[in-house]
């Protein structure tokens, strides 16, 4: 029963993976304007700005030279971590590499106009990668204490319970088909139309677009029941679904 | 190949070591070659609970650092032939454990044993993470109180993400809930969480329920795992737990408060 050392251990393995990533689409190259807007967003939904990795998309900018270093510094000052740049001219690519950032080629599908209000037709997803049309996320199973689940681009659906000490965040709505005992934050990018829905309310904290209520502030009669949470006149309104 | 089972909880003082000793003893009594490893480097306790503290020469850290062979460090149990103990070091700290070292020890033990039980330290730091990293199954020990349940929930999250099976995207660790120190009378009074509440929050398979019992404290102090105390409620509950671990269907006992049964337990040999 001696110790066998024959198993050669490898230091790492490469794995392909699809990770949810927030894309920061720049419509201005002015670091000051970016700073102002970030400061406003930060006060609305501080939970989102926790060293969140972002890809800076400069496809909409028609400028061959960017103050990329200053833009990155502004982002980091607001607890956003730029990890890569998408699109832009060759000098932009070179300066991204010089800053230790990755560079992605421009998106092939023509980017949607931010100003357009009409919902675009769902784009065909790549054959082998089923991506929900809305950018939402579905989680099956219990979200446990200490775990954090984020849907940075859409709705979050949890089929199971969210336990005390867990946190679920979504740019859109949060649906919990089970007991909600942890924290739920909807509309983390400031969408005031977002809502929270759950089967059984025991939440530590509810927040829609930065407006929040703690467990202590919630009418005890609503605890344990199925509810929806919406923003009405800058106040969280909790209504029974029964 | 041995089955590696970690006994863990997050919270301290809920009965991890008592349960690891009792389950290991039960598995060995059923004819399985079993070794129980104390991962609580610096706070060695398992040797006391197993009653072998006077026979410790080398320990887990000595083996990992190449100062002793595995055979020199393994202690054979006095009462059960198939049972061995690998004690922790009392004079070192958890940094003495390395991932590769633990893997080597577990690989070697795997060749000779049917079951390897890893008695995890409390907390969620390095020692606890190493104890669970290579596990195939986990016994999560929980007391009927809110803080213990929350810590168990946290540990279940780590079992699903910070283990070899999770990192290699293999079949997930089989998780079992073991509720200890359950006192049906206090549950009835509302002093303790009840069984159904705990099961609902943690949402995993219940492997056993150990009633609060004087036999446990006595067993710990005597260094005889409570499984040997076949007349005690706790001893029987651990025997049931081992049967369920081995895949048998055993009805749940000791979870309901009945005045009559309490009386009959007092007169019927609950104490000796």
Residue carrying the six token digits 């950018």: A135
Angstrom distance (rounded) from CA A82 to CA A23: 10
Q: Are B138 and B159 in contact (CB under 8 A)?
A: yes
Tell me the DSSP string of A29-97: --HHHHHHHHHHHHHH-GGG-SSEEEEEE-TT---SS--HHHHHHHHHHTTEEEEEEES--HHHHHHHH
Angstrom distance (rounded) from CA B66 to CA A136: 52
Q: Considering CB atoms only, which of B69, B154, B203 is closest to A145? A: B154
Element (H, E) at B129: helix B126-133
Provide mean pLDDT across the span A213-217.
Answer: 92
Q: What is the pLDDT of residue B265?
A: 58
Query: Under 8 Å CB-to-CB from A112, ≥6 apart: which residues?
Result: A120
Residue A132 pLDDT grade (very low, low, confident, very high; cuts 50, 70, 90): low
Q: What is the pLDDT of residue A11?
A: 85
Residue carrying the six token digits 């005690």: B232
Q: What is the pLDDT of residue B272?
A: 42
pLDDT of A202 strictly over 90: yes
Spans of chain B below 70 pLDDT:
259-272
Provide mean pLDDT across the span A4-10.
Answer: 59
Q: Terminal CA-to-CA distance of chain A, rounded, Å?
A: 64
Q: CA distances (Å), B207 to each of A162, A189, B17, B230, B242, in order? A: 23, 44, 17, 19, 8
Which pLDDT tens digit goes with each residue over A76-127?
888 888 888 888 888 888 888 888 888 888 876 544 444 333 333 333 333 4
Residue B201: phi and psi, rounded to 5, are -70, -45
Which one of A17, A144, A177, A179 would you mutate to disrupt binding with B, by most B Cβ within 10 Å of its Cβ?
A: A144
CATH: 3.30.360.10, 3.40.50.2300, 2.160.20.70, 3.40.50.720. Which one for A114-240? 2.160.20.70
Angstrom distance (rounded) from CA B239 to CA B233: 10
Q: Per-residue b/e over B49-79, b at no fewer than 16 CB within 10 Å?
A: bbbbeeebebbbbbbbeeebebeebbbebee
Which CATH number does A22-104 carry?
3.30.70.260
pLDDT of A128 strictly over 80: no
Residue A129 pLDDT grade (very low, low, confident, very high; cuts 50, 70, 90): very low
Subunit contact B70:A9, Cβ cutoff 8 A:
no
Give domain limits for chain A.
22-104, 114-240
Q: What is the pLDDT of residue B262?
A: 56
The overall pTM is greater than 0.90: no
Tell me the DSSP string of B143-209: -SSHHHHHHHHHHHHHHTTSSHHHHTT-SPPEEEEEEEEE-HHHHHHTSS--HHHHHHHH-SEEEEE
Residue ranges of chain A whose CB lies within 8 Å of a chain B CB: 1-5, 7, 9, 142, 144-147, 160-161, 163-165, 179, 181
Angle at the Cα of B236 from the Cα atoms of B144 and B78, rounded to 5 degrees:
110
pLDDT of A15 strictly over 80: no
Residue carrying the six token digits 């829905």: A197
B160 neighbourhood in chain A, CB within 8 Å: 144
Shortest Cα distance, chain B CAs vs residue A153, angstroms: 24
Q: Are A169 and A48 in contact (CB under 8 A)?
A: yes
B172 and chain A: CB distance < 8 Å anywhere? no
Angstrom distance (rounded) from CA B265 to CA B211: 12
Q: Is B226 annotated as a binding residue?
A: no
Which pLDDT tens digit goes with each residue over B70-91?
999 999 999 999 999 999 998 8
Query: Under 8 Å CB-to-CB from A18, ≥6 apart: which residues?
Result: A129
Q: Per-residue b/e over A3-40, b at no fewer than 16 CB within 10 Å?
A: eeeeeeeeeeeeeeeeeeebbbbbeebebeebbeebee
Q: Is B142 annotated as a binding residue?
A: no
Q: CA distances (Å), A137 to each of A107, A155, B6, B56, B74, in order? A: 22, 6, 32, 53, 49
Which pLDDT tens digit goes with each residue over B241-267?
999 999 999 999 999 887 655 556 566
Q: What is the pLDDT of residue A32?
A: 86
Q: What is the pLDDT of residue B224?
A: 97
Q: Are A175 and A161 in contact (CB under 8 A)?
A: no
Residues of chain A with pLDDT > 70: what percent? 84
Which pLDDT tens digit goes with each residue over A151-198?
999 999 999 999 999 999 999 999 999 999 999 999 999 999 999 999
Element (H, E) at B265: helix B259-267
Length of chain B, in residues: 272
B157 and chain A: CB distance < 8 Å anywhere? yes
Q: What is the pLDDT of residue B260?
A: 57
Angstrom distance (rounded) from CA A198 to CA A161: 9
Residue carrying the six token digits 């651990």: B238
Subunit contact B108:A1, Cβ cutoff 8 A:
yes
Q: What is the ipTM of this complex?
A: 0.75
Shortest Cα distance, chain B CAs vs residue A167, angstroms: 12
Which of the 8 DSSP states describes residue A114?
T
Percent helix, percent strand, percent coil in chain B, to nearest 5: 45, 15, 40
- Cβ-Cβ pairs closer than 8 A, A with B, add up to 54
Angstrom distance (rounded) from CA A203 to CA A233: 22
| Domains contained in chain B, CATH given | 3-268 (3.40.50.300)
Q: Are B7 and B173 in contact (CB under 8 A)?
A: no
Query: Under 8 Å CB-to-CB from A30, ≥6 apart: which residues?
Result: none
User: What part of B 72-101 touches A (C-beta under 8 Å)?
Assistant: 100
Q: Are B66 and B16 in contact (CB under 8 A)?
A: no
B200 neighbourhood in chain A, CB within 8 Å: 179
pLDDT of A3 strictly over 70: no
Between A2 and B139, name the one with better pLDDT. Answer: B139
pLDDT of A72 strictly over 90: no
Between A8 and B82, name the one with better pLDDT. Answer: B82
Q: What is the pLDDT of residue A133?
A: 61
Which one of B154, B164, B168, B177 would you mutate to disrupt binding with A, by most A Cβ within 10 Å of its Cβ?
A: B154
Between A128 and B175, name the one with better pLDDT. Answer: B175
Query: Mean pLDDT across chain A, nearest whole number?
Result: 82
Shortest Cα distance, chain A CAs vs residue B123, angstroms: 13
A144 neighbourhood in chain B, CB within 8 Å: 153-154, 156-157, 160
């Amino acid at each position: 029963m001696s110790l066998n050392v024959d198993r050669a251990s490898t230091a790492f393995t490469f794995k392909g993976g699809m990770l949810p990533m927030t894309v920061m689409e720049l419509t201005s190259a002015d670091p000051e304007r970016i700073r102002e807007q970030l400061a406003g967003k930060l006060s609305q939904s501080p939970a989102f700005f926790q060293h969140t990795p972002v890809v800076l998309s400069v496809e909409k900018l028609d400028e061959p030279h960017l103050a990329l270093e200053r833009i990155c510094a502004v982002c980091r000052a607001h607890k956003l971590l730029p990890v890569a740049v998408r699109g832009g001219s060759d000098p932009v690519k070179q300066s991204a590499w010089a800053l230790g950032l990755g560079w992605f080629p421009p998106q092939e599908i023509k980017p949607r106009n931010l100003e357009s209000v009409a919902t675009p037709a769902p784009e065909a997803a790549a054959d082998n990668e089923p991506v929900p049309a809305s950018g939402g996320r579905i989680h099956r199973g219990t979200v446990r204490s200490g775990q954090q689940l984020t849907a940075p681009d859409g709705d979050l659906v949890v089929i199971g319970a969210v336990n005390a000490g867990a946190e679920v965040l979504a740019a859109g709505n949060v649906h919990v088909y089970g007991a909600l005992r942890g924290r739920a934050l909807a509309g983390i990018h400031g969408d005031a139309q977002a809502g929270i829905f759950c089967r059984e309310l025991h939440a530590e904290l509810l927040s829609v677009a930065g407006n929040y209520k703690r467990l202590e502030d919630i009418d005890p009669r609503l605890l344990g029941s199925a509810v929806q949470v919406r923003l009405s006149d800058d106040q969280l309104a909790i209504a029974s679904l029964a | 190949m041995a089955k590696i089972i970690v006994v863990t909880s997050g919270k301290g003082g809920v009965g991890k070591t008592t349960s690891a000793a009792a389950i290991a003893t039960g598995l060995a009594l059923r004819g399985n070659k079993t070794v129980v490893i104390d991962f609580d480097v610096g706070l060695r306790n398992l040797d006391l609970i197993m009653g072998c503290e006077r026979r410790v020469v080398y320990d887990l850290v000595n083996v990992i650092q190449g100062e002793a062979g595995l055979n020199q460090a393994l202690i054979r149990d006095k009462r059960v032939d198939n049972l061995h103990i690998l004690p922790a070091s009392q004079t070192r700290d958890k940094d003495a454990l390395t991932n590769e070292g633990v893997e080597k020890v577990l690989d070697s033990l795997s060749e000779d044993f049917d079951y390897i039980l890893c008695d995890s330290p409390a907390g969620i730091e390095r020692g606890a993470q190493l104890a669970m990293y290579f596990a195939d199954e986990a016994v999560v020990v929980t007391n009927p109180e809110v803080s213990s349940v929350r810590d168990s929930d946290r540990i279940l999250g780590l079992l699903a993400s910070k283990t070899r099976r999770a990192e290699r995207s293999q079949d997930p660790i089989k998780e079992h809930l073991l509720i200890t120190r359950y006192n049906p009378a206090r549950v009835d009074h509302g002093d303790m969480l009840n069984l159904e509440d705990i099961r609902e929050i943690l949402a995993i398979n219940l492997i056993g329920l150990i009633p609060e019992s004087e036999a446990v404290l006595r067993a710990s102090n005597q260094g005889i795992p409570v499984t040997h105390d076949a007349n005690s409620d706790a001893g029987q509950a651990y025997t049931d737990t081992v049967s369920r671990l081995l895949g048998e269907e055993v009805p749940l006992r000791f979870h309901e408060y009945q005045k009559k049964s309490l009386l009959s337990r007092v007169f019927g040999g609950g104490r000796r």
